[in-house]
Structure 1
Amino acid sequence: MNKARTKLSTLLLAVTGAAVVLAGCGGGNGGNDAGGQPAGGDTGASGGGKKTEILFWSPFSGSDGPFMKKIVDKYNSSQDQYKVNFVIQPNGEYYKQLDVALSSGKESPDLMIMHVDQVPTYASKDQLQPVDDMASAAGIDKADFAEAPVDYSTLDGKWYTIPLDIHPLVMYYNKDLFEQAGIAAAPTNRAEFDDAVLKLTDKSKGVYGYVVPTLWPQQFIFPTLVWQNGGELWNGTDVAYNSQEAVEMVQWLRGMIDSGVSPANVQQDGENTLFLQGKNAIQFNGPWMKSQFDEAGLNYGVAPVPQIGKAKQAVFAGSHGFVVPKSVTDEAVTAGIGDFLKYVSTNSMDWAESGQALASKPMIESAEFKALEFQSSVASAFSYVQFAPNVLNWGTISEPIWGELNSALLGKKDAQKALDDAAAKSQQALKK
């Protein structure tokens, strides 16, 4: 999960109208070893010695694609019964391509990556099959994965997604600016955060403690703050993001602009540009930013997002997982899919090397993973991550939030008015 905006725009279509957010998807043009030919049919290893072929689609069209290709290549070399043909579809077009393939049945994948928040919609369209039986036959146990994506993708008692990773919002901070301001550690709560950003702001040098984004990645920030403050985006029957809890958090964000801790009228990606220039001390963004900051040579740290709200620790997250189309019925193919996913569950360090925090508990608990300071820090938030509301077509329903939030952060509307307007527009979308 591109750089940030391109990477997660597809995720957030279903997460928060954009989209995780979701924090993006990466890879090059991948390893289309078999020219993208679908698996199945007479490709079984019996009778003729051919390997059973599995067509595997992913949206990893950024820097993370080669990492998944490496896993696939290693698996293909590890045994002689199955061959996984790895195909990368352009991230921005991924779900459009998937919709065409699943509806037409032509060159439809046997296995595909799906953002966890998309699963309820595709399952409701009867396009996915539960993975319970396949997982059981392959020796894959639910208990071996982080609970949040497993719980989210278990619908009516049926499990639809075998998780690969979780990518929550995280806090990046400029270590040099922290040292100059005499701040020894990353803030963990609102009081520490408010104190730190004041100390970090030096208008004479054009340096700001925290640059408030008015657009992306608010799709990850706003839900995080609402949940932390005891609010909800959905109350079970209706949108709920115009609550007092939500309004308070928008007012807190706007307050940093009014006090000068943040510049006003920040344009798209402006907070990231200033962070790269060493003029923004703190940025909330996703793990997908790691490679960009590494390439820029920044002396940065990463930590969980502080608990800004008054109610609880919470953070918005996205997750990649493996799903299987309902149309896949060949027993040799489903057995091969299970074998591959069993392999990935204990051989996915290459994916961690891309900057992702793995969802497999055996991997998280391994010495190799714990040695990765960045990824281990990201994984430390797994116990309190939250995904988009499990509501069909949530992306369309929640889309009005982002324009109205932008108006509030730019000072064009009162926070309560902006969120009331967003809720009213969302309620109209619910009636369609």
Structure 2
Amino acid sequence: MEYTPGRLSRRGFLTAAVGAAAVPLLAGCSSPVAAGLFGAQLSPQTIVYWNLFGGGDGTRMEAMEAGYRKVYGPDSLQATTFAWGNPYYTKVTLATVGNRPPDVAIAHLTRAKPLWDGGLLEPITEADLAAVGLSVSDFSKRPWDAQVTDGQNIAVPLDTHPIVAFFNSDVCKKAGLLDSAGHLEQLDDLHRFEAALAEISKVTGGLAMTVANVGGETATPWRVFWTFYNQHANATPFLSDNGARLTVDEDIFLEVTGKLQDWVKKGWVNKALDYATAESFMFTGKTGLYLEGEWEITTAQSVKGLTFGMAPIPTLYGTPATQADSHTFVLPRKNRSDEQRLQAMKFIKSMLDQSMTWAKGGHVPAYLPVADSAEYKALEPQAQYAVAAEHAVYDDAAWYGGSGSTFEGIVGAQLGLVQQLAVSPQDALAAIKNQLRVYLNTPSPL
């Protein structure tokens, strides 16, 4: 299905948006740090690096930053962490427009593309890579190919982070779903998967699988939907032409959302649980399966007495596909010397060399010397779901799309309501069309 309403002018959109949004956004971006976080003059050799990593990711990134400082000196790096999602990307955008960006920044691959389209990133050439001993062949094909835009390399991928199936080993063993090694059996095929949900439900006396969908949680419903939607061989993009057209296949949308409601009505999937509670149900054996990003491995490993595993989400509709994004390193547009550009690439190379530290937090390394190493392949349970990265499906390119975006919030909220049985799939689709209308009508303001 293709939906292309009449278009607003760029001028009309910006006029309407400035009064509502411009002042708060600018106020939220006081003190860009190109010359030091508080205005202090930095050495030209000091790399200014921005990221959005909190929790376990933040701790591991700090360890990797320490690894860089150990080689290049204690004053070689100024790293700053900002709030995840739109606040972070607003800061990167405004700092770059104001010619005070960081030397290197983290960007989700799905958010790097709008930055590139807005002229805010510098391309990374093969010469840049070669200067620090890198080449295209050092990276996993899926994320590397996905970052190439307009024939240019716009980012260096650090990882792929897919949504996966966590499973409670005790529950799934009682349900007869584990093999002799304690791994989840292949549950590909819709009928096999539903039979497994029924068996788990018998063990728990209630839910078989949890998917967070309330308390402001819109990302998980989107990730689950986008996974199953793209497992259909004839699935079309949800958005096309950089977000100017809604091209979702309505029949597949209704099939996937209708199936989710069916699972809820049968008592196999929760009607309404927030992020923490959906997770805790798997931890405490109230459910056998929990669908979430692999980064929750750190939380699961911290639960005393929990025996769990992780696996790719089963292929229910014939085509392996898993919603994912990638953390990437980007070079914001700025005036920099050849020496400063080389040092920025040295920083990126240092981070890639430490990908094993990053992988212990669940993310699948994009840097093949680590991903193909015996050390990584022996890492459990990472080894059991790493293949999901080969079937990564990224969100469609759109200036208002990507991880933590307006698009994800709008669509994910409606999908959450479908799971709550608050709206029908048809009404959810109608609401999505209506709420996306202004964004479909509006050229990128970047």
How does the TM-score come out when normalised to structure 2? Answer: 0.80
- Partner residue of 1:128? 121
Which AA in structure 2 matches 1:182?
G
Question: Aligned pair in 2 of structure 1 residues 312, 83: CA closer, same or farther (>3 Å)?
Answer: same
* CA positional deviation for 1:117: 0.5
**After the TM superposition, which of the residue ranges 174-183 and 207-216 deviates more from structure 2?**
207-216
Q: Which string of whole-angstrom CA distances, capped at 9 and with x for unpartnered residues, describes residues 17-51 of structure 1?
A: xxxxxxxxxxxxxxx9x96478998x45xxxxxxx
- Partner residue of 1:194? 194
Question: Aligned pair in 2 of structure 1 residues 76, 304: CA closer, same or farther (>3 Å)?
Answer: same
Q: Percent identity?
A: 23
Does residue 391 (structure 1) correspond to residue 401 (structure 2)? The answer is no
C-alpha contact 1:40 1:330 (8 A) present in aligned 2: no
- Partner residue of 1:111? 104
C-alpha contact 2:227 2:322 (8 A) present in aligned 1: yes
- Partner residue of 1:406? 416
* CA positional deviation for 1:404: 2.5
Does residue 303 (structure 1) correspond to residue 311 (structure 2)? The answer is yes
* CA positional deviation for 1:81: 12
* CA positional deviation for 1:140: 1.7
- Partner residue of 1:236? 240
Question: Aligned pair in 2 of structure 1 residues 429, 87: CA closer, same or farther (>3 Å)?
Answer: closer
Does residue 101 (structure 1) correspond to residue 95 (structure 2)? The answer is yes
* CA positional deviation for 1:206: 4.5
Mapping of residues 124-163 of structure 1, within 5 Å: 124-132=117-125, 133-163=127-157
- Partner residue of 2:68? 75
C-alpha contact 1:178 1:281 (8 A) present in aligned 2: yes
Question: Aligned pair in 2 of structure 1 residues 330, 404: CA closer, same or farther (>3 Å)?
Answer: same
Structure 2 SS opposite 1:303: strand
- Partner residue of 1:63? 56
Which AA in structure 2 matches 1:415?
P
**After the TM superposition, which of the residue ranges 132-141 and 215-224 deviates more from structure 2?**
132-141
Question: Aligned pair in 2 of structure 1 residues 167, 428: CA closer, same or farther (>3 Å)?
Answer: same
> Alignment partner for residue 165 of structure 2, among 171, 179, 192?
171
Which AA in structure 1 matches 2:426?
Q
Does residue 87 (structure 1) correspond to residue 80 (structure 2)? The answer is yes
State the alpha-carbon separation in 2 of the partners of residues 66 and 396 from structure 1.
Answer: 28
Does residue 220 (structure 1) correspond to residue 223 (structure 2)? The answer is yes
State the alpha-carbon separation in 2 of the partners of residues 236 and 329 from structure 1.
Answer: 35
**After the TM superposition, which of the residue ranges 268-277 and 62-71 deviates more from structure 2?**
268-277
Aligned residues: 389
State the alpha-carbon separation in 1 of the partners of residues 166 and 67 from structure 2.
Answer: 33
**After the TM superposition, which of the residue ranges 347-356 and 189-198 deviates more from structure 2?**
347-356
State the alpha-carbon separation in 2 of the partners of residues 332 and 70 from structure 1.
Answer: 25
> Alignment partner for residue 323 of structure 1, among 323, 326, 330?
330
**After the TM superposition, which of the residue ranges 359-368 and 233-242 deviates more from structure 2?**
233-242
C-alpha contact 2:102 2:332 (8 A) present in aligned 1: yes
State the alpha-carbon separation in 1 of the partners of residues 138 and 98 from structure 2.
Answer: 35
Mapping of residues 1-12 of structure 1, within 5 Å: none
Which AA in structure 2 matches 1:294?
Q
Structure scoring higher RCO (CA < 8 A, sep ≥ 6) equals 2
Which AA in structure 2 matches 1:199?
E
State the alpha-carbon separation in 1 of the partners of residues 271 and 208 from structure 2.
Answer: 13
Question: Aligned pair in 2 of structure 1 residues 123, 104: CA closer, same or farther (>3 Å)?
Answer: same
**After the TM superposition, which of the residue ranges 340-349 and 355-364 deviates more from structure 2?**
340-349
Q: Which string of whole-angstrom CA distances, capped at 9 and with x for unpartnered residues, describes residues 62-100 of structure 1?
A: 222232222222223235699232222233542233233
Which AA in structure 2 matches 1:425?
Q
Does residue 291 (structure 1) correspond to residue 298 (structure 2)? The answer is yes
Mapping of residues 18-57 of structure 1, within 5 Å: 36=37, 43=43, 52-57=45-50
* CA positional deviation for 1:398: 5.4
**After the TM superposition, which of the residue ranges 265-274 and 287-296 deviates more from structure 2?**
265-274
* CA positional deviation for 1:252: 1.1
How does the TM-score come out when normalised to structure 1? Answer: 0.82
Q: Which string of whole-angstrom CA distances, capped at 9 and with x for unpartnered residues, describes residues 191-246 of structure 1?
A: 3221111011138x654212344453112111111101232343635223352112
Structure 1 SS opposite 2:271: coil
Q: Which string of whole-angstrom CA distances, capped at 9 and with x for unpartnered residues, describes residues 140-194 of structure 1?
A: 2122111222222211111011111110010001110111222224243123221
**After the TM superposition, which of the residue ranges 407-416 and 163-172 deviates more from structure 2?**
407-416
State the alpha-carbon separation in 1 of the partners of residues 276 and 260 from structure 2.
Answer: 17
Question: Aligned pair in 2 of structure 1 residues 299, 83: CA closer, same or farther (>3 Å)?
Answer: same
- Partner residue of 2:430? 420
- Partner residue of 1:365? 372
Structure 1, unaligned runs of 5 or more: 1-31, 45-51
Which AA in structure 2 matches 1:407?
L
Which AA in structure 1 matches 2:238?
W
State the alpha-carbon separation in 2 of the partners of residues 399 and 327 from structure 1.
Answer: 31
